[in-house]
Chain A
Amino acid sequence: MSHPLEPRIAAYIATQMPQATDVAVRDLARISGGASRETYRFTASWTQDGQARERKLILRRDPPASLIDTERRIEFEAYRAFHGTSVPAPEMLWLEEGDGPLDHPFFIAAEIAGFQAGPGLLWAEPYLDTHARLGERKWTILGEIAKADPVANGLAQVMPAVAAEDCWNRELTYWEDVLDADEAEPLPIIRAAIRWLRANPPPPAQKVGVVHGDYRTGNFLYDTEGQIHGILDWEMAHLGDPLEDLGWSLNPIWSFGRGLAGGLLPQDQAVAIWERASGLAADPAALHWWTLFNCVKGQAIWVSSARAWLDGGNREPIMVYPAWAMTNAQDRAALQVMGRL
């Protein structure tokens, strides 16, 4: 049974590939997860220069309402900036910002096929012996992102600028505003964390770099050898303090109950790898600030997920899952970072 989106995607691709004929789409399948965008994999086939061709592709489409409001062009350009560099990222093909072709804006990218992204598989064979190598790669690549020059790779032209001394306040204010707008119940632990963060600001960023914004176990494609083949989910990418990304990767919510950074490595090892790869220093006090900040950010995202469901903008079950499964764990993560758990 074909999916109703298949002929519409094919029609769109045909407009982007005037040299192709007989464009068709098959095997469209939604990839689970993806609360901020609907993600599908599919195979496109066409005829060109008399030869039949096909390619595995990914569609990322905006949902009616999301748990995070992001600028899809920035996400598209972030992927494009890193594709072909030491930071593995899929090739971007087309960005459509209008609602006409598929009801909501979307982009289409090449699929990096044959690898896993879900973190659940990592805690069983054949992946148990790969954690050290995977952790080494994970925080090395994050260091490479931190090292990247946003002027040279063009992202400074599409991402809003921020001064080194303003990075922390811009991010904290943004996510506090999200909480103010979206929370459906009082959050005393997170509000206390915000008060502490404002009273104890971090030093200015060592550099203003590219921040992925959601760099965690679960947002990269891995194999059974501990290699990483693609960094995904750049929808929250922005310019800022590279320690922000390191702090998000160390948010205890991403330890998956294993007591290790990202479920993979002791925290000090992860930080040492990142420092080596980035050439930057992770001042412990500053990193503590950014790790606690990311507990606030995480809670704001889970709260927004509930809000999108409550307001009726998006009644998909994926919007309920973070609110139900993550809210208390995120509170506990904040307590842990504050030394109160």
Chain B
Amino acid sequence: MIPSVPAVLVDLAGKVMANAMPDANPTDRAATLGLSAMLMGLAAEAWDGAAHNLVMENRAIRGLLARGAAYVPPPEERAEDDFRLSALAAENARLRAALITLQIAVEGRDGAMNEAIWAELRASTERRKQQGSAV
């Protein structure tokens, strides 16, 4: 999730503190706290599965990049030894950028490889799907 959950929660904490002051304007307070509550709900929903989903996705993309090595050399391999969400998300961004490059290379050339990429992209949206998603 971008902006990252910790950065947003720190910011929201400050806003909740400010709105706890007795002189806070009631309508501004209601708008800020209502939206803050919605964001905290989204953060709570993502919390438990966030690391698992990123690890699964990164492994799946590494497999695709290895399979497509004949078209585009895979990015440098990095040890999967940092499981902080920020590290997993940074690796995910690096791998997804490489996946875009690979898909451009195989479009119109390797239908099976292209379909495998689409299957992973579809799966990634299922992993990230939120309760109450509009789609």
Q: Which residues of chain A have a CB within 8 Å of any CB of chain B?
A: 1, 3-4, 28-30, 32, 184-186, 188-189, 191-192, 195, 252-257, 306, 309-310, 315-318, 320-321, 323-333, 335-336, 340-341
Contact = CB atoms under 8 A, between A and B. Distances in A.
A188 B134 contact: no
14 contacts: A1-B23, A29-B27, A32-B35, A186-B97, A255-B135, A257-B135, A306-B3, A315-B11, A317-B36, A325-B38, A328-B128, A328-B129, A341-B125, A341-B135
B31 A32 contact: yes
B104 interface: yes
Contacts of B92: 185
B75 to A, nearest CB: 12
A331 B129 CA distance: 10
Interface residues of B, number: 43
B133 A324 contact: no
Contacts of B130: 325, 328-329
B83 interface: no
Given A335-B125, A341-B122, A324 B135 contact: no
Interface of B: 1-3, 8, 11-12, 15, 23, 25-28, 31-32, 34-36, 38-39, 42-43, 89, 92-93, 96-97, 99-100, 103-104, 107, 117-118, 121-122, 125, 128-130, 132-135
Contacts of B121: 188-189, 192, 331, 335, 340
Instruction: Decide if the interface of chain B is mainly helix, strand, loop or mixed.
Output: helix
Given A28-B27, A30-B31, A317-B15, A329 B135 contact: yes
Contacts of B26: 1
B133 A30 contact: no
Contacts, number: 116
Given A189-B121, A252-B134, A328-B129, A32 B97 contact: no
Contact of B133 (A192, A310, A328): A328
A230 to B, nearest CB: 21
Nearest to A184: B2
Nearest to A253: B134
B135 A185 contact: no
Given A257-B133, A328-B129, A186 B100 contact: yes
Interface centre among B34, B122, B129, B134 (most CB of A within 10 A): B134
A332 B125 contact: yes
Given A185-B89, A189-B121, 8 more contacts: A30-B28, A186-B99, A192-B121, A195-B104, A257-B134, A315-B11, A341-B122, A341-B135
B120 to A, nearest CB: 9
Nearest to A31: B31
A323 B23 CA distance: 31
Nearest to B98: A186
Nearest to B128: A328
B129 A332 contact: yes
Contact of A323 (B3, B15, B32, B93): B3
B25 to A, nearest CB: 6
Contacts of A316: 32, 35
Contacts of A253: 134-135
B20 to A, nearest CB: 16
Contacts of B38: 317, 321, 325
B30 to A, nearest CB: 8
3 smallest CB-CB distances across A and B, nearest first, come from A317-B35, A332-B135, A186-B96
B135 A188 contact: no
